Amino acid sequence: MELKILRKEEIGILHRQWMWADYIKQLYESSLKSTSNEVLISPLRFYAYPVGCYMSLWYALLFSVLEQFRTKKIKIKIVEPEIGELYDSLEKLRHAVFHAPYKYWDMRWFNPLKVKGAGNKIRKIHNTIGEVFLDVMK
């Protein structure tokens, strides 16, 4: 099914959810540029700084859009391989973000990062979904 088949309200809800993810992505990318390498290479520091918070929130919010796409059987062919590869790990990360884990170092925080090129793949998914929304809203 294609996104444009949905009711306008459903498209609006999904677009709002994607926009929230996009706002957080912008904060992440801005903080990424201003965060020292010492923080970026240390998980202990990374997740204690805004950069780690923003990345986790971005990925979790983006997952909420992917989850609704899957529920509504919406496929974006150009990024389906990337979505399929990252879906389960993003779901687990979302749970770790929005439900306090039982252990400080819950491995769900790291699952998406185990996928080779995860950051670029997540950006590709995110940006492609944004393009699809622009196209549908014309």
66-119 confidence digits (pLDDT tens)? 999 999 999 999 999 999 999 999 999 999 999 988 888 888 888 888 889 999
pTM of the model: 0.93
Amino acid at 90: L
Residue closest to 81 by CA, chosen among 39, 33, 115, 131? 115
At residue 1 the predicted structure's pLDDT band, cuts being 50, 70 and 90, is low
Q: How large is the average pLDDT for residues 54-58?
A: 97
- Side-chain-side CA neighbours of 57 within 13 Å: the count stands at 18
Q: What is d(CA 66, CA 129) in angstroms, rounded to the nearest whole number?
A: 9
* pLDDT given at position 89: 96
pLDDT of residue 97: 93
Between 7-11, 37-41, 51-55, 109-113, the lowest mean confidence (pLDDT) is in 109-113
Q: What is the pLDDT of residue 110?
A: 85
